[in-house]
Amino acid sequence: MAGNHTSVYAPSQASGFNLADTIGQQERLSLARKDQQMREQQLEEHRRDKQLVRDEKLRERLLKSIQNYDTGSASLNELQGRMIMQAVNRKGEIYNQLRKGNLSDSERIKLEMENMNLDNLPSNLKVATQNFTKMNQDYMEGVKKGSLFRNLDFEKKVLNGFENYLGGIDENGFPLVGFKDIDGDGKIDLMPWDNLKDGIGVWEFQPKMDYDKMITEMSEGLGTVKTKDREGYDIITEKGIPLDVAQSSAQSMMYDSNGYLTNFAKSRLTELGYDYRNPNEETLKGIERDVAERILNSKDRESLRERDTTSEQGALNRAQRERIHQDNKTKETNTGIGEAVEPTTNTWGNHYKEIAPGAMSVPIDGKVKLEAIDLKTGDNTKTLSNVSIDNYTYSKDGRMIVTGSYPEGKTTVNLGNYGEGGKSTSTENKKMKTIVSKETESRIAKMLNATTEELKQRANYTKQNMSTKELPDFNELPDL
């Protein structure tokens, strides 16, 4: 065939694949993998060896043996032994937690600190035991000497032997002591490490104060004061502790600067059988009064009463002068009553026939003015205002008869021939006569600074003036 066509029968060429090369390459890869595995195995073995070394060091550091010490008491040794076993178990837990390694820095530090405190447990127990023993001894000695009140709960739970004690470890690795619930109140009293290391109990040991002695000591520091007072004309001289000083001193013994009860007050309440935690107000006031009274009477008191005769005589003289002055004033006031004269029909009109025989007519110089009075004319009654009394006398039956004037109406007068001077208005006064009631008679007498009897005497009215004839009761009207 002609042209560029390729013949299908032409000889084939090589593809470039080499089996030997492929096999060699696979062998090299296999060797590389084995070498990597060997290196990784060696690294793991090295890591395990290092971990074993670290674990051993951690074990040696953390799992130190904690040794108890002989306290001299079998029951106390047993109690501390139980606490040490708790510490050993806890150290194992701490070891496992630190060994895992998946902890934050703060968690790791806390565990390390707790473990360190557990290592110090024997010495901490020794400190706690010494302090606790001293606290118990101080209590028993205080009760024996009378400086402390007995605490029965403390004695029952603490002083009855270590069998009632419960030992434990707190979250920081410090010892913790509790006491069995002997009284069945469901409460276990605990003494944490802060109390144990400082020897401070959870029970309150209340001081027992010498009531009389403390009051005496307070009184000795107070001075006496000399005071003078008056009762009328008596001068009273007192020497001693002032009452206000005694009261303020009593308050300072009962309450501190913050208003809380002092040990002195608590002690007295306990002695009297009261609970000082919930005191009665009246009981507190009673104690305070008793203390103040004892302080007040703690030192000899002197009391001298003297009569101030000079002041007394001076007062008598002043009283005498005042009486003379009042008498003169009364006389001056009574000069408003004129001289008694014979009554006339001109003055008394129709009432003249009612005047008692021998009775006189007494003029009054405008000293008496009644706000209102009733005037009866026939069957008509008229109330008059602002009546000025001019004269008085007495009727045959002893009733006061008066004359007077009262303002009524106004009068206008033109000034000048033709009124060029303007107008002048004046009030007209009208006369009146009437018999007044006993009440009005009394008011008139008071205005004249006299009594009704004195007015009768001035008018010369006596029982002999009275007539046995019955008189008509006209003009017997109430007046204001």
Per-residue model confidence as pLDDT tens digits over 1-22: 445 554 444 555 555 567 777 7
Cα–Cα distance between 139 and 146 in angstroms, integer? 10
Residue 219 has what pLDDT? 84
Residue type for position 256: D
Residue 361 has what pLDDT? 95
Is residue 472 very low, low, confident or very high in pLDDT (cuts 50, 70, 90)?
very low
Q: What are phi and psi of 430, to 5 degrees?
A: -115, 150
- 471: pLDDT strictly greater than 50: no
Q: What is the mean pLDDT of residues 330-346?
A: 76
- 242: pLDDT strictly greater than 70: yes
Per-residue model confidence as pLDDT tens digits over 153-196: 788 877 777 777 788 888 998 888 877 665 666 566 677 777 77
Give the position of tokens 């009075």. Answer: 373
Angle 89-95-101 from CA coordinates, rounded to 5°:
150
Cα–Cα distance between 448 and 336 in angstroms, integer? 7
Short-list 438, 454, 442, CA closest to 331: 454
Strands 234-240 and 302-307, bridge-based pairing: antiparallel
Residue 46 has what pLDDT? 59
Residue 184 has what pLDDT? 61
Residue 232 has what pLDDT? 67
Residue 347 has what pLDDT? 92
Per-residue model confidence as pLDDT tens digits over 244-294: 888 999 999 999 999 999 999 999 999 898 988 888 899 999 999 999 988
Percent of the chain whose predicted confidence (pLDDT) is above 90: 21
- 319: pLDDT strictly greater than 70: no
- 461: pLDDT strictly greater than 80: yes
Cα–Cα distance between 394 and 354 in angstroms, integer? 8
Per-residue model confidence as pLDDT tens digits over 43-73: 666 556 555 555 555 556 666 777 887 877 7
Tally the residues of the chain.
480
Is residue 141 very low, low, confident or very high in pLDDT (cuts 50, 70, 90)?
very high
Query: Which of 107-121, 271-285, 290-304, 388-402 has the least mean pLDDT?
Result: 290-304
Residue 473 has what pLDDT? 47
Q: What is the mean pLDDT of residues 325-342?
A: 68
Cα–Cα distance between 46 and 59 in angstroms, integer? 20
Q: What is the mean pLDDT of residues 227-245?
A: 70
Query: Which of 141-145, 172-176, 462-466 has the least mean pLDDT?
Result: 462-466
Q: What is the mean pLDDT of residues 90-119?
A: 84
Residue 368 DSSP SS3: coil
Would you give the end-to-end CA distance of the chain in angstroms? 175
Residue 183 has what pLDDT? 61
Is residue 316 very low, low, confident or very high in pLDDT (cuts 50, 70, 90)?
low
**Any idea what DSSP says for residue 446?**
H
Is residue 41 very low, low, confident or very high in pLDDT (cuts 50, 70, 90)?
confident
Give the global pTM: 0.44
